[in-house]
Structure 1
Amino acid sequence: MDNQSKMNAKQALNNMKMEIANELGYNYNSETNKIESNAPQGTLEGAAKNVLAGEEVGGLATRKLVEMGEEILLNEYNNKN
């Protein structure tokens, strides 16, 4: 994979994380590439909720990526038969 393709893939993944974070009511900080909760930042509570928000967004992103991969594989299989 060339560098441009890698950059495009990274941007697409970041966009997906941002969309999922927004759907779940979290903020995606594009400068730090981190998910942030609405808890006060710079506090222990904020840090703990950021971890939970990141886990939730990451889990949903993973599920969506797996679903996309499954769909592609099924389409390839169905087109061959």
Structure 2
Amino acid sequence: MENKNVNSNAKLALNMMKMEIANELGYDYNQVTDKIESKAPQNTLEGVAKNVLAGEQVGGNMTKSLVEMAEKALLNNYNSKN
């Protein structure tokens, strides 16, 4: 039972991170579809292409942030043992 709460909290935190990064980059996060959307007209070839680019940029920044957080946690753990 506890794992479900942890998983839902983690998913919520990741979605919040996704929304924050999307907003910082000037994109919209559609909570219904769970997709990043550009400001380009949707349902057009240009819109689809820009949405793909937006998703790649947001995903890349999320990965970068998560790696930085993990590095800090590892360093803090290491430094607290020494």
Which category describes the TM-score, using the shorter chain as reference length? over 0.9
What percentage of aligned pairs have identical amino acids? 68
TM-score, L = length of structure 1: 0.98
Matched, 1:9 2:31: no
User: Alpha-carbon deviation of 1:19?
Assistant: 0.1
Please list, as runs of the form range in 1=range in 2, the aligned pairs for 1:27-46 lying within 5 A after superposition. 27-46=28-47
3-state DSSP class of the match of 2:43?
coil
Q: Give 5+ residue unaligned stretches, structure 2.
A: none
Q: What amino acid does structure 2 have at the position aligned with 1:79?
A: S
- 4+ runs of 1 displaced by more than 2 Å? none
Q: Where in structure 1 are there 5+ consecutive unaligned residues?
A: none
Question: TM-score, with normalisation over the residues of structure 2?
Answer: 0.97
> What value does the CA root-mean-square deviation take over the aligned residues?
0.7
